[in-house]
Every structure is written in structure tokens, then in C-alpha cells.
A and B are shown apart, each in its own frame.
Chain A
Amino acid sequence: MSLTTFIKVSVVKTVIALFVLLTAVAYSVWLERKVVGHIQNRWGPTRVGPFGLLQPLADGAKFLFKEDLIPPHVYKPLYIAAPMLAVIFALTSISVIPIGNSVTIGNIQTPLQISDVNIGLLIVLGITSLGVYGVALAGWSSNSKYSLLGGLRASAQMVSYEISLGLSLVGVLILTGSFSLRAIVDAQAGTFLGFIPRWNIFQGQLVAFFIYLTAAYAETNRVPFDLPEAETELVAGYHTEYSAMKFAMFFMAEYANMITVACLASLLFLGGWHGPVFGPAWLQALLPVFWFGLRVLVFLFIYIWVRGTLPRFRYDQLMAFGWKFLLPLAIANLVVTALIVAMRS
């Protein structure tokens, strides 16, 4: 592939991926409001469009037309940069995530991901580890006590749970022997005994999956670990002083991070895009993407379900749980997996 074709293909893929991701972000907000509404015996959004489906558009328009307040007491450069950083890191991490096999259009064959790199998982982890700057700097630069407490909580929490999150993934890496997300998915093809799929959670990584699930909730600042924006204590935490589109950017970053986490869970533990494939050629090409999307949707649904049912942790409980329970469990899982793999070979 020549350089110009490469650039053209990459630009097209980036535009499509961004469009899909931002639409998914908008509609996961809708899904959340709808599902939490039904959990709490209300209807959720119903007025704008059928089933409230146009609500995200209405919200977006509202955010755009609101007055963009900059309080006089903030440290301006970082106050403005913080939401941008949050959104940039949240959107960048999608760039190495594959959503299906490769496709051939005309004479160009290209994988269904923006860039197929052999250390894909490390890149996602690296970019998400930078995401904490957006939240921390927003809290600090707002120059208000609630924001600062929210920012401090967020950075302590995200650094703590990142370790458990990383360690829970190492088991999968040992089983596969590669950092490439595509190779990890390929290793999960096929079935045991003809009907149990060879997903990593059925290959002894069930504990790791639950560690990942828990740590991921803490990483994305979601209930029951949403201490950085605990509204009963901190007004709105790190984004107390933000309004209009800047506030919306934090919102977008949070939901984009949720989607990235859901994608990683599907790729690493739930078999990626593997599933029954049948029918004519065009259906065979689309079904893997559909199966992948279904897994992501289920993962997002569990996220919302948890939000609708669990109360918030206290801060000391959060830290004790992360360091005294989750981390030892992740290390134990790693040691057991390593022993089993070593004995097998």
C-alpha cells in the first residue's frame, strides 16, 4: 500500500471511528437515563422523539447554546485545557481497538481498526493512565474546595486501581503470549467439548474478569466508586465550576472511557467478535461486528444496572478494598495462572 493510500484509508477510518464513538457516547447517555429510570420505576426521557431517542441531540444543542461561564477565581490556562485533555485522551484510546476481522473494499484490504499495532493493549493502558490529568487539573485549576477534593480523590483512586486493573490483564497476556489485541481475540476462537466457547473467562480467567470489572468501575469514576463527584458531599466534585460545553466534554470523556473499558473487556475476556457466522457473504462480514457490539452493549448495561442498585462506598472503604483485597487477589490470580501455564508447557 502506498503512502497516499495509507493516509487516505487512515483518515477515512478515523472519521468513521470518531463518528461511531461519539454517537455511541450520546446514546449511552440516553440508555443510562432510560434504564436507570425504569429501575427507579419512572419513564426516563420520553418527550423528544419516539422513546426520547432524540434527547441526546436536544442535550447537545442545549450545551452549545448555554453561556460558557469562566469563574473569576480560576487558573485560566489549565481550567480551559483540562476538559480538552480529558476528551482527547478518552477519544485517542479507541484508535488501537479492533472491532472485527479485516475487510476488502476494491483492492484495498484493511483491518477493522484505526491502527493495528503489536503492543495495542499497552497503548490503551498508557493513554488511559494519562486520562487522570484532565480530572486532576480540572479540580486544581477551579480553585474551589469541592473541586480540589474531587480532583485529589480522583487521582488517588485512579492511580490505586490502575495497578489491580493492569495485573488482572496479565493473566490473559500469559495465556496468549502477545500484547496485540487482534492476537488475543484470535487465541479465543473455537470451543471446548463442542459447545463452551474458548473465551478467556472460561479458560480460568473468571476471577481476573471480576477484578477487571471492579477496577474498571473505579477507573471510570462510576458508581459505586464515584467518590470524585459524590454529589452528597462535594456538590459535583471536580466539575463543580464547569458549565456549558466544557462540562459536556467531561461528560463525553466519562462515557467514552466507559465504552473503551467495555471494548477491552469484550476483547480480552469475552472472545471479541467470535460468534455464530452464517448466511450470505455480506451477512458474514457484518455478523462479527454485530457480536462485538452486542458484548459492549451488555457490558454497558451492567454498568448502568450497578449504578441503579448499589450505594456509594466510603472513601476509606474504597482505598482499603483496592489495596488490601483487590490487589492481593490480582497477584494471586497472576501467580496461579503463571504456574498452570508453566506446568502445561
Chain B
Amino acid sequence: MLHLTLFLIFGAICVAGAVNLLVQRHPINAALSLVAVMASLAVEYLLLGAEFVAAVQVIVYAGAIMVLFVFVIMLLNAGEEARTGGSRVAILFGIPGMLAGSLLGAWVLITHSGTQEVPAGALPGPPREIANLLFHDFLLPFEVTSVLVLIAIMGAVVLAARPESVEQQKREG
């Protein structure tokens, strides 16, 4: 009962954060709402029993990736967005349409995809179980993903390198 109440509260915070993310006009407020979304998602994982995933969610997403977002916003000193006003039609039909669409999607997923309700504390939580899954059962996909990340890092280094230093390297070898 306590679990369910907390789950609903943090679910509401999560959705409110996501809506706030869209509504806010200042990029830094939007980024901070995203932090709130990430943090409340971590609490949801924790309530479902996936404690390791919850901790990693906070450390990686809220603590590292979002810090970089905030860092970039601060560095560029991005100001408030100007409202375009948009079209009335988009507001009148867009929001109800989106709500109806997502409700329909959720209903189809719940009733027709064969997924079952996950009771509180049922997800694989202990780090040992996660490690068994990652380094034993799904070793190949895990390693392939790590190579993919490596490629992305190398791409970032190439893109960020100053043009003259790349030319210099070409001349040297």
C-alpha cells in the first residue's frame, strides 16, 4: 500500500516534470525539469525493486549527462525562447489529439501485448543478478554496445579536434 502510494506520487512528479519541461521558456528551467524527471524515474525503479538501476540512473543521467546539458546552457548563455504564438488549430486539436493518442497507445500496450503487472520489488535488483545478466547471458550484445559507444567517443574527438591540428596530422603522417 505504501509502495503503491509512493509510486503514484513519484509518477505524478515525473509527468509534471515532463510537462513543465515543455512549457518552460528558459532552457535552464527546462533542463532542471528533466533532472526532476530523471530523479523521479530513479525512485520508481527503486520502488519496483531495481535498486542498482535506480542508483545508476541517478549517477549517470541526473549526475553526469544532465550536468553537461546545464554546463552547455551556461556556457552558451542561452536566453529565453521567444513564443511564436503558434496556430490556434495546433493548440485546439493538438493537445486533445496527443492525449487521446497516448491513452490509446497505453491501452493497446496494456491489454494486447501480453505484458503482466509488475508487483513492487519484483524486478531483478541486486547488482549480482544484473552482472550475471550483463556478463553472462547477454555478453555479446553488451560488448557490441560498448564498441558502439567507443565509436561515438572517437567521432566526438574527431569532430571536436581543431581543423589545423587535423591537417597537421595529415601532413606528418
- Which B residues from 54 to 99 make CB contacts under 8 A with A? 55-56, 58-59, 62-64, 67-68, 70-71, 73-75, 77
B34-58: CB near A (< 8 Å → 1, else 0) gives: 0100010000000000011001101
Cβ A140 vs Cβ B55 within 8 A: no
Q: Given A78-B28, A136-B74, are A122 and B68 also a contact pair (CB < 8 Å)?
A: no
Cβ B35 vs Cβ A133 within 8 A: yes
- Which B residues from 119 to 139 make CB contacts under 8 A with A? 126-127
Chain A residue, CB-CB nearest to B28: A140
Q: Is A125 an interface residue (CB 8 A)?
A: yes
Q: Given A119-B51, A119-B127, are A126 and B71 also a contact pair (CB < 8 Å)?
A: no
Q: Given the complex, which residues of A lie within 8 Å of B28, measured CB to CB?
A: 78, 137, 140
A137, B51: Cα distance in complex, Å? 28
Cβ B70 vs Cβ A129 within 8 A: no
Q: Is A159 an interface residue (CB 8 A)?
A: yes
A30-63: CB near B (< 8 Å → 1, else 0) gives: 0000000000000000000000000000000000
Q: Given the complex, which residues of A lie within 8 Å of B35, measured CB to CB?
A: 133
Cβ B67 vs Cβ A140 within 8 A: no
A140, B71: Cα distance in complex, Å? 9
Of listed A78, A119, A151, A156, residue having the most chain B CB within 10 A? A119
The residue from A122, A132, A137, A152 contacting B75, defined by CB atoms under 8 A apart: A152
Distance from A170 Cβ to chain B, minimum over Cβ atoms (Å): 12
Cβ B52 vs Cβ A119 within 8 A: yes
Q: Is A251 an interface residue (CB 8 A)?
A: no
A130, B59: Cα distance in complex, Å? 8
A125, B28: Cα distance in complex, Å? 24
Size of the chain A interface, CB-CB below 8 angstroms: 26
Q: Given A122-B59, A129-B62, A148-B74, are A136 and B67 also a contact pair (CB < 8 Å)?
A: yes
Cβ A123 vs Cβ B62 within 8 A: no
* Contacts between the two chains (Cβ within 8 Å), count: 69
Cβ B127 vs Cβ A151 within 8 A: no
Q: Is A23 an interface residue (CB 8 A)?
A: no
Cβ A156 vs Cβ B71 within 8 A: yes
Chain B residue, CB-CB nearest to A81: B32
Q: Given the complex, which residues of A lie within 8 Å of B56, measured CB to CB?
A: 122
Q: Is A162 an interface residue (CB 8 A)?
A: yes
The residue from B51, B59, B67 contacting A133, defined by CB atoms under 8 A apart: B67
Chain B residue, CB-CB nearest to A127: B58
A158, B68: Cα distance in complex, Å? 11
Cβ A130 vs Cβ B62 within 8 A: yes
The residue from A117, A118, A132, A148 contacting B67, defined by CB atoms under 8 A apart: A132
Interface class of chain B by DSSP: helix
Q: Given A118-B51, A152-B75, are A130 and B63 also a contact pair (CB < 8 Å)?
A: yes
Chain B residue, CB-CB nearest to A148: B74
Q: Given the complex, which residues of B lie within 8 Å of A137, measured CB to CB?
A: 28, 32, 70
The residue from A126, A139, A155, A162 contacting B55, defined by CB atoms under 8 A apart: A126
Cβ B55 vs Cβ A119 within 8 A: yes
Q: Given the complex, which residues of A lie within 8 Å of B51, measured CB to CB?
A: 117-119
The residue from B67, B73, B75 contacting A159, defined by CB atoms under 8 A apart: B67
Cβ B74 vs Cβ A179 within 8 A: no
Q: Given the complex, which residues of B lie within 8 Å of A78, measured CB to CB?
A: 28, 32
Q: Given A140-B28, A151-B74, A152-B74, are A126 and B67 also a contact pair (CB < 8 Å)?
A: no
Cβ A139 vs Cβ B74 within 8 A: yes
- Which A residues from 128 to 173 make CB contacts under 8 A with B? 129-130, 132-133, 136-137, 139-140, 148, 151-152, 155-156, 158-159, 162
Cβ B59 vs Cβ A126 within 8 A: yes
Q: Given the complex, which residues of B lie within 8 Å of A156, measured CB to CB?
A: 71
The residue from B64, B73, B126 contacting A118, defined by CB atoms under 8 A apart: B126
Q: Given the complex, which residues of B lie within 8 Å of A117, measured CB to CB?
A: 51
The residue from B59, B62, B64, B74 contacting A140, defined by CB atoms under 8 A apart: B74
Q: A118-B126, A129-B58 are in contact. List 9 more A-B contacts (CB 8 A).
A: A78-B28, A117-B51, A119-B127, A122-B59, A129-B64, A136-B67, A136-B74, A158-B67, A159-B67
Interface pairs A-B: 9 shortest CB-CB: A129-B63, A122-B55, A126-B58, A140-B74, A126-B59, A155-B71, A119-B51, A126-B55, A129-B59
Chain B residues with a Cβ under 8 A of chain A: 28, 32, 35, 39, 51-52, 55-56, 58-59, 62-64, 67-68, 70-71, 73-75, 77, 126-127
Chain A residues with a Cβ under 8 A of chain B: 78, 117-119, 122-123, 125-127, 129-130, 132-133, 136-137, 139-140, 148, 151-152, 155-156, 158-159, 162, 179
Contacts A/B (CB < 8 Å), 8 sampled: A78-B32, A122-B59, A126-B63, A137-B28, A140-B70, A148-B74, A156-B71, A159-B71
